[in-house]
Amino acid sequence: MEELSAHLALALKQVTGYIYPNEAELHWGILVVVYPYLTGLVAGAFILASLERVFNVKEVQPTYRLALLTALAFMIVAPMPLLAHLGHPERFYEIMMTPHLSSAMAMFGFVYAWYLLVVLVLEIWFDYRKDMVIWAQSEKGWRRVLHRVLTLGANELTEKSVRFDHRAGKVITIIGIPSAFLLHGYVGFIFGSIKANPWWSSVLIPVVFLFSAIVSGIALMTLIYMVTCLLRWKEIDMVCLDKLTSFLFFALVIDFSLEILDFIHRLYTSEESIHILGQMISSKLFISLIIMQLSLGTLIPLIALFLFCPIFRQRGIIAIPPELRRMVYFIVVLLVELGIFSTRWNVVVGGQLFSKSLRGLTVYKMQLLGLEGVLMSGFLLALPFFILFVLIKVLPPWPDAEAHLDHSTTKTA
């Protein structure tokens, strides 16, 4: 109790203007920032995977399976920040047992279950079924048992069954694209529908959230693809890498344009909240919004990607060696991820920094330990990479590890 009182006293010393007593403490902290960031990575990675499956973009084929496994790894961890944020996380199942259909937050459980079980798991199973059957026939030990169990008894390897797997996977991917939009769009819908908060209340918030998710997902897959190639001592496919960064550039342009449009709309309407929002941006959010999100996370990546865009190199305007391109791409995707995380921070935390009276600003102080602390958030951000490592060991996503069907040994088990 004394620690809480000291924390409250410290916060009150840093407020400006007039605020109500119940506004000194922010209810949504860094865990609620991590949650939309993780779901955005899931949606973005899946949309990238759909480029090869649905839109036949063959240049990104080396990242197709890796993107699916990445989406699954991050999807498993996505609800954990919310569970850690709850006062009684053991009651999480009640959202499924007693659904509140008119609540956007309450519908998250159903959206999550649909996307995880129906979209991701099914698509990965259909895509890997043939490989798992062949692996189970050629491997030994625990890997053979595991792959045999994962086939669920569907061991048929006829051309008809393989074609069915491909068609089923494509149908699920088509269904998964709007599902991915729904998964992250509803997060923006929650914030955008809160009319009492002028920082959140905007019809563009769901769209901005969606395109920022695409940006973060493409940047994450570019980073993972580069790192995994280095760890496996494999040469990076520059055609694939250039295509990924081209998509990243155009997605970043659209995302930045939408954010500028939202900002211009706020200035044009000039509601009574514009003054307190201006004070908040120039003081409390100056580092996270102006420096980290706008400068480091948006403008610098846009300029770098524009200068290194494959369109200009193909026309012979700029000749840049692959080593330099890889280094610039690596730095760019790190800056983009920093910018998207800052975006989530500015939305979640920034929307709670000003008072309901629109006359004062408060401050958010992060704690190091505890369920709401920095260490817990860092653990949740690192956990998907460990899960991805395990998934890669069980289901290798590399093109050279794909099992090829030998028609001379085709059989039905």
CB 45 within 8 A of CB 74: yes
CA dihedral 15, 21, 25, 27 (to 10 degrees): -130
Which range has the worst mean pLDDT, 111-125, 211-225, 265-279, 395-409?
A: 395-409
Helical segments of 17-121, H only: 30-53, 64-77, 80-85, 94-97, 108-113
What kind and span of H or E run contains 100? none
More confident residue, 331 or 402: 331
User: Which are the contacts of 314, defined by CB distance < 8 A and separation ≥ 6?
Assistant: none
Q: Enter the pTM of the model.
A: 0.88
Question: For the range 306-311, what are the long-range contacts, defined as Cβ-Cβ under 8 Å and sequence gap of 24 or more?
Answer: 306/249, 308/245, 309/245, 309/246, 309/249, 310/242, 310/243, 310/245, 310/246, 311/246
Domain boundaries, the chain: 31-193+365-403
Q: What is the pLDDT of residue 22?
A: 58
Give the separation between CA 293 and CA 344, rounded to whole angstroms: 10
Cβ neighbourhood burial of 5 (10 Å; 0-12, 13-18, 19+): exposed
pLDDT digits (tens, 9 = 90+) for 174-231: 888 888 787 777 777 888 777 777 788 788 888 888 899 999 999 999 999 999 999 9
Helical segments of 193-237, H only: 205-231
| Max mean pLDDT range (101-105, 139-143, 180-184, 329-333) | 329-333
pLDDT digits (tens, 9 = 90+) for 116-144: 778 889 999 999 999 999 988 888 888 88
Which range has the worst mean pLDDT, 129-133, 308-312, 338-342, 388-392?
A: 308-312
The amino acid at 133: V
Q: What is the pLDDT of residue 409?
A: 44
Confidence of residue 152 (pLDDT cuts 50, 70, 90): confident
Give the separation between CA 337 and CA 332, rounded to whole angstroms: 9
Report angle CA 258, 222, 209 to the nearest 5 degrees.
Answer: 25
CB 346 within 8 A of CB 4: no
